[in-house]
Structure 1
């Protein structure tokens, strides 16, 4: 069952990634990706994986050390739970990148490959996007975020 949940985690997010990569200008994409609820499917899988292991999870996360984390990740449920958590956060990061790219007017031909890169290696994709965003964003952005003008 754990193997199935591991595989299921990613496939539950594919429709959202597909919208951002292949249909970025479709109005439905913007509406769907605006919701943080897109992360719920992998988080449901996460919950199913950890529900029977809350004491072990708590012990690992409340006093983290490398040995304990290594033991946690050596279990199929622990590795799968971490995978579900990573997939959920990657999707939220990707959705934020998508929304920011639309605000900045970045071309889909730039963002599509960058989002795919983020799916595979999110820290690098996110860092690259932050660099692009810093280069393309207006210097008075802080004022517009606060005042909406």
Structure 2
């Protein structure tokens, strides 16, 4: 049974969104079970999204015009609904991996989890903006930490 016969693209889109949301909820609740949160958000969900991504590429790559040589080529590539969905899964997986890294890095740095939650929300919604916000927050935290410990910044 072909991918497009087993599930509609809209069903895959909805399921992937719910799956990704589970990963983000695990990260938000990670102080309760850090290892489990990382297993869900940095392994299970990205693997599932990656498998669906690969299946979509395998199924639809040959049908689409376009490519990566110009903005117009990318637009043509993503005008195909199957590849547009694959691109969306790519974003879901990689943003979640960035969020999982933020949580691990915050824990390593001693940054309070409550301070990281807005960064996670921004990473979930706006990817690189959340990542940049986290880097700025971590930098301020580490500078303050070194000052509190009497070390030069």
Pick the TM interval, shorter chain: 0.7 to 0.9
SS in 2 for 1:60: coil
Aligned length: 136
- Using the TM superposition, give the Cα deviation of residue 18 of structure 1 relative to its aligned residue in structure 2, in angstroms: 0.8
In 1: Cα distance, 2:50 partner to 2:57 partner: 10
1:133 maps to 138
1:92 maps to 97
| Matching residue within 25, 40, 65 for 2:47 | 40
The structure whose residues are more often helix, as a share, is 1
CA deviation string 1:34-70 (max 9, x = no partner): 8545411111111221112233579614xx2111111
Correspondences of 1:64-143 after superposition (within 5 Å)? 64-137=69-142
Answer with 1 or 2: which has the greater Rg: 2
Q: Which shifted more, 110-119 or 96-105?
A: 110-119
- Correspondence 1:52 to 2:59: yes
Which structure is richer in relative contact order (CA contacts within 8 A, separation 6 or more)? 1
TM-score by length of 2: 0.76
1:22 maps to 29
Is the CA contact (8 Å cut-off) linking 1:20 and 1:29 kept in structure 2? no
TM-score by length of 1: 0.78
Instruction: Extract unaligned runs of 5+ from structure 2.
Output: 1-7, 144-153
In 1: Cα distance, 2:12 partner to 2:95 partner: 17
- Using the TM superposition, give the Cα deviation of residue 28 of structure 1 relative to its aligned residue in structure 2, in angstroms: 3.5
